[in-house]
């Protein structure tokens, strides 16, 4: 349950690069320019008090480091402008990023497990505007806590970077905060590497679902934890050939199947599992080290509702694995071409579940001099109502948990929780044989 505590926000300010930077218009890639990325995502890190840093103020340290880091990442200090064909570009003219200093009358101990996503105090720990055109591309809030710890929360414009790109920036920020003059990884723009080909050929099947049907006012956000006991309970009920599945595949399949059953869709409808996959490091793209733009492709697999809901869990696991193995050069280039030529397709239908794994992203390793955060990662875990970004959280027992945020209408959330509980703790036959499910199309 969320706490009630007092917080004092100082006056918002703009932080500018500490040295003059280039003034120019920069184009973004076709992946950056997707309609579905025209929003913001939020990262948060909670730090304990460090008695060896008692002479240092985290607000001043991060504020000063931010100005120096923006010299290297100067496009973040720019503003979005609309160019030809409604494609966004970045006007780099040292307009600055948003910064807010705050004091909260609460301790980390009092916050407890509420540090894991979804954050119940978003208006406290990351205030400010979230506009697109003509607005700061980044907003940073540093909140001092009564215990001597602090919270760093950052709002990123998604058109500028994905989670890996923003981690690169935050890592550079932490290095400069500790006295390093030049970041260990030099940032590279080069968004032309992910532009559509001159003669686009789209010969692969991609998820093209457009339909929005959720009323945001009816939705609730919750997170579900998968620790060693939960994973073990599911594995031992699976056929031998499925027990070696990765935690990501296993959890994705459980969530997809349970969510689909909870939604009570038409049994003949298609539902999709979409895996957001980082393509950095793929030889066929050869993206250079330092590239901090969006580099995520979303391969997907479909199933009829009835087949997914009535088949053993191994069927869902198989489709999750198949979705991830779709990724190759042909599929990736085809996906970029689709993005550029198909009205910047949306994939926000509730029939589509988008999953991504940020549990190893590295935000929980970022050290500004106070040590590693007790939690570092996504603030909400749900960028879109039909998405879930898995995060890592270490509980009081020292166990690493996979935290899975979910967004659903209240009634369906109760049904989803019941389905998950049945998968983990129900009899074996519920996982390895079909079981009855009620179908009632509401979407």
Q: Can you tell me the distance from the alpha carbon of 144 to that of 105, in angstroms, rounded to the nearest whole number?
A: 9
Beta strands at 296-297 and 277-278: parallel, antiparallel or unpaired:
antiparallel
Q: Can you tell me the distance from the alpha carbon of 188 to that of 387, in angstroms, rounded to the nearest whole number?
A: 29
Q: Nearest to residue 383, comparing CAs of 202, 159, 198, 125?
A: 159
386 contacts 352 by C-beta, under 8 angstroms: yes
Catalytic pick from 40, 72, 158, 206? 158
Q: Can you tell me the distance from the alpha carbon of 200 to that of 204, in angstroms, rounded to the nearest whole number?
A: 12
Q: Can you tell me the distance from the alpha carbon of 1 to that of 121, in angstroms, rounded to the nearest whole number?
A: 11
59 contacts 141 by C-beta, under 8 angstroms: no
Rg (CA), the chain: 22
Q: Nearest to residue 149, comparing CAs of 108, 111, 101?
A: 108
Is 42 part of the annotated catalytic residue set?
A: no
Is 367 part of the annotated catalytic residue set?
A: yes
296 contacts 162 by C-beta, under 8 angstroms: yes
Q: What's the Cα-to-Cα distance from 123 to each of 9, 18, 128, 192, 212, rounded to whole Å? A: 11, 29, 8, 37, 26
Coil, helix or strand for 172?
helix
158 contacts 55 by C-beta, under 8 angstroms: no
Looking up tokens 């890996």, which residue turns up?
164
Instruction: Give me the active site residues, please.
Output: 158, 367
């Amino acid at each position: 349950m969320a706490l009630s505590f007092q917080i004092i926000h100082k006056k918002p300010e703009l932080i500018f690069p500490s040295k003059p930077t280039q003034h120019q218009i920069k184009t973004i890639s076709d992946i950056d320019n997707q309609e579905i990325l025209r929003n913001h995502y939020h990262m948060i890190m909670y730090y304990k008090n460090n008695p060896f840093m008692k002479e240092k103020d985290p607000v001043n340290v991060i504020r000063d480091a931010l100005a120096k880091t923006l010299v290297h990442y100067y496009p973040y200090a720019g503003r979005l402008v609309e160019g030809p064909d409604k494609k966004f570009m970045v006007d780099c003219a040292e307009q600055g990023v948003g910064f807010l200093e705050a004091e909260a009358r609460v301790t980390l101990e009092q916050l407890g497990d509420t540090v894991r996503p979804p954050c119940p105090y978003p208006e406290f720990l990351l205030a400010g505007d979230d506009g697109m055109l003509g607005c700061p591309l980044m907003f940073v809030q540093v909140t001092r806590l009564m215990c001597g710890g602090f919270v760093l929360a950052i709002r990123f414009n998604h058109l500028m970077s994905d989670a890996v790109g923003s981690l690169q920036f935050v890592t550079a920020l932490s290095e400069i905060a500790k006295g390093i003059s030049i970041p260990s990884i030099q940032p590279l723009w080069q968004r032309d590497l992910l532009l559509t080909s001159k003669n686009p050929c789209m010969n692969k099947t991609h998820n093209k679902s457009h339909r929005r049907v959720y009323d945001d006012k009816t939705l609730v956000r919750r997170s579900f934890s998968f620790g060693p006991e939960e994973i073990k309970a599911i594995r031992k009920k699976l056929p031998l050939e499925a027990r070696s599945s990765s935690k990501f595949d296993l959890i994705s399949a459980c969530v997809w199947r349970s969510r689909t059953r909870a939604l009570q869709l038409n049994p003949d409808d298609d539902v999709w599992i979409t895996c957001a996959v980082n393509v950095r490091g793929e030889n066929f793209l050869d993206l250079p080290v330092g590239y901090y733009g969006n580099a995520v492709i979303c391969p997907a697999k479909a199933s009829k509702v009835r087949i997914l809901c009535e088949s053993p869990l191994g069927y869902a696991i198989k489709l999750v694995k198949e979705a991830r193995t779709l990724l190759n050069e042909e599929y990736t280039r085809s996906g970029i071409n689709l993005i550029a030529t198909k009205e910047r397709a949306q994939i926000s239908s509730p029939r589509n579940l988008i999953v991504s794994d940020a549990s190893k992203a590295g935000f929980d390793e970022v050290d500004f001099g106070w040590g590693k955060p007790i939690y570092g990662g996504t603030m909400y875990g749900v960028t879109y109502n039909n998405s879930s970004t898995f995060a890592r959280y270490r509980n009081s027992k020292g166990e690493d948990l996979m935290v899975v945020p979910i967004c659903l209408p209240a009634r369906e959330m109760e049904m989803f929780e019941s389905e998950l509980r049945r998968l983990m703790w129900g009899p074996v036959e519920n996982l390895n044989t079909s079981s009855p499910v009620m179908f009632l199309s509401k979407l």
